[in-house]
Structure 1
Amino acid sequence: MQGLVVGLACSGGATLAGAWWCLRRLAQARHLLDTPTSKIRSAAQGYAEFYGLLEALPEALIVAPLTGKPCLWWRFKIEEYSSDGKRRSWRVVERGCSEGWLRLRDASGSCLIDPQGAEVRPATRERWRGSLRHPRGVAPRGLFGWLASGAEYRYTEERLHAGEPLYAIGEFRTSGGGRQGLDLATAQGQVIREWKGDFDGLLQRFDSDRNGRLDDPEWNRVRLAARLEAEERHRQVSLQPQQDHLARPREAQPFILSSYGEDDLARQFHWQAAGAAVLCLAGAAGSAWLLGLAW
């Protein structure tokens, strides 16, 4: 009976996981295909899609941690080989990902990208093995790579480089240049919340009768001062040069940075959805078979 319960739990989990992954990948593929490609200079604020070339930021010098190669973005994984006589497997012992901003340029302009939260799919991917927890230098090639095939550790490193093409889809926003509007109530509330963080300072500024609290007339002065402060901050931001940004969407929409184009990505997502659908059907068939045995 216990084996039947475990089997039903596994098959039911496979059914649910396959269904969820299938629907997720189909929805992501639809987002990619339905979102028109925009030029950076003329793109509307909100969810947008761009093609361009990666460009190095002048102040950024990034080196990949495993190979030591210069790049604009990296992600790595270190796995350790383990064996207990019966089971042999690779166990992840360390992983990491760079968080530095990227810059994408097309024929119309450039856009800064915050890669945090993005599904990054780079074309450059190296995998090799070695005997040290942290490798020294680049991946071995040819005969040296073959000799290391029985080593204790396996390394994987992915990178994005300057001059490479990039497909990007996410939340597009522009700051500076006088383009952004002012939500005065929200901005005023933000200023007041900041001031409340230093309540002693707030009392010192606005508690005119020094009774240790803010009365209604004093709170009115706080609100007026916060409104003026919010307007001044907006004016200062508007005077700054216009800067375009791409980041993770606030809603559940795909945020993808890829060396591969939209059509290739959509094709990969459709294949993954098909595989997930097969898993879902197999799990459902297994559950039905187990329930038949129970009856």
Structure 2
Amino acid sequence: MLRGLSPSSAPLQLLLMGLALGAIGIVQFFRLQHRRRVMEDMPTARIRSAAQGYVELVGQALAPDLPLFSPITRTPCCWYRYKIERRDGSDGDKWTTEEQGASTAQFWLDDETGRCIIDPEGAEVRARTRSTWTGAAAQLIPGSRGEVMLAGDNDHRYTEHLILPGQTLYALGWFASLSPLQASKHEEVRERIAAWKADPQQRRAFDTNGDGELDMAEFEQLRQQAAATVEAERRERAVLPQTHVLKKPNDRRVFLLTTEPHDDLTRTLRWQAWGWLLAGVLGLGYGGAGLLMRF
């Protein structure tokens, strides 16, 4: 029974809430069970030999090329999520979110066979490094050599979730390898010609008679120079390795990044799934019994 009420005496709204809880519980059970099975059944790929498509990677998180710092404690990190809440109400047990956000900066995963860019936008992230505190806390002073200051007050609660450089990262998402010569030579030449024609300085360089216009001979010279420049640049790029990226799939499959140990997370998902199933069965039983007694 919910809130000490028998189903026959419960208000209709409470019975409908029970049915809604039951439906949500059943859906959550199947969703979490599916996620757990995907994690348990998916073989771990290696970056150097990974197939294009949906893969599981495990490696070491490495910082972005440009330094990234968490907004509250200014901790160097690969990824962050934060929330700042303000105490609301005289009783002091209610909190209102003032500010929150998560980083979308790309960072690296290294599994010793290669490196892969992790694009965290749209990912479900479970970070093992997380902290919540109320009141003043030691925060790194930006641009200093490790100096800290005390900031914050007792009317605010702060939360940070971090992926730190060097932590083991489990990643489940869409893997794609990008060739340095992905665009065709024809497209690159056409874009270079358009760019040079739109640039007054480049136009003057090929306007040999100085009349402000490019005649057929002058345009042909520009085209040949553009083609030669593009060809030289493509030869330089041809020796570069492919760039690997892991990102959110285009379909509804899960995109998961976590620093929690694989076995711990699957165990947590199992218990969460069964917890939701229990709540769902109780909600359906309570709401269904109450409606049957009323009608």
What's the TM-score once normalised by structure 2's chain length?
0.70
Match of 1:114 in 2: 119
Which of the numbers 16, 32, 35 marks the counterpart of 1:28? 35
Does the alignment pair 1:166 with 2:169?
A: yes
Does the alignment pair 1:16 with 2:23?
A: yes
Amino acid at match of 1:6: Q
8 A contact 1:4–1:290 mirrored in 2 = no
Match of 2:156 in 1: 153
Amino acid at match of 2:83: K
Displacement of 1:13 in angstroms is: 1.1
Displacement of 1:177 in angstroms is: 5.4
8 A contact 2:86–2:155 mirrored in 1 = yes
SS of 1:71 mapped into structure 2 = coil
Percent identity over the alignment? Answer: 32
Displacement of 1:80 in angstroms is: 1.7
Q: Distance in 1 between matches of 2:274 and 2:234?
A: 52
Does the alignment pair 1:68 with 2:74?
A: yes
Match of 1:47 in 2: 54
8 A contact 2:19–2:288 mirrored in 1 = no
Match of 2:103 in 1: 98
Q: Distance in 2 between matches of 1:12 and 1:81?
A: 33
8 A contact 1:77–1:96 mirrored in 2 = yes
**What RMSD in Å do the two structures reach over aligned CA positions?**
3.2
Q: Distance in 1 between matches of 2:234 and 2:178?
A: 11
SS of 1:159 mapped into structure 2 = strand
SS of 2:170 mapped into structure 1 = strand
8 A contact 2:84–2:157 mirrored in 1 = yes
Q: Distance in 2 between matches of 1:156 and 1:4?
A: 38
Displacement of 1:262 in angstroms is: 2.5
- For residues 242 and 12 of structure 1, do their structure 2 counterparts lie closer, same or farther at Cα, with a shift above 3 Å needed? same
Q: Distance in 1 between matches of 2:97 and 2:156?
A: 10
> Which consecutive aligned stretches of 4+ in structure 1 deviate over 4 angstroms post-superposition?
235-238
Displacement of 1:3 in angstroms is: 6.5
Unaligned runs of 5+ in 2: 1-7, 141-149, 191-229
8 A contact 2:10–2:290 mirrored in 1 = no
Q: Distance in 2 between matches of 1:99 and 1:155?
A: 20
1:1-295 to 2 correspondences below 5 Å: 4-57=11-64, 59-84=65-90, 88-130=93-135, 137=139, 151-176=154-179, 239=238, 241-295=241-295
Q: Deviations over 1:205-261 (max 9, x none)?
A: xxxxxxxxxxxxxxxxxxxxxxxxxxx9xx969846410000001121111111123
8 A contact 1:114–1:246 mirrored in 2 = yes
Q: Distance in 1 between matches of 2:286 and 2:59?
A: 47
Displacement of 1:263 in angstroms is: 2.0
Q: Distance in 2 between matches of 1:274 and 1:111?
A: 35
8 A contact 2:77–2:162 mirrored in 1 = yes
SS of 1:137 mapped into structure 2 = strand
Displacement of 1:181 in angstroms is: 11
What's the TM-score once normalised by structure 1's chain length?
0.70
Q: Deviations over 1:75-113 (max 9, x none)?
A: 10111222255x842222211111100100012000001
Count of residue correspondences? 232
Match of 2:214 in 1: none
Q: Distance in 1 between matches of 2:79 and 2:27?
A: 30
Unaligned runs of 5+ in 1: 139-144, 192-231
Match of 1:199 in 2: none
Q: Who wins on radius of gyration, i.e. which is larger?
A: 2
Displacement of 1:271 in angstroms is: 0.9
Q: Distance in 1 between matches of 2:124 and 2:132?
A: 20
SS of 2:49 mapped into structure 1 = coil
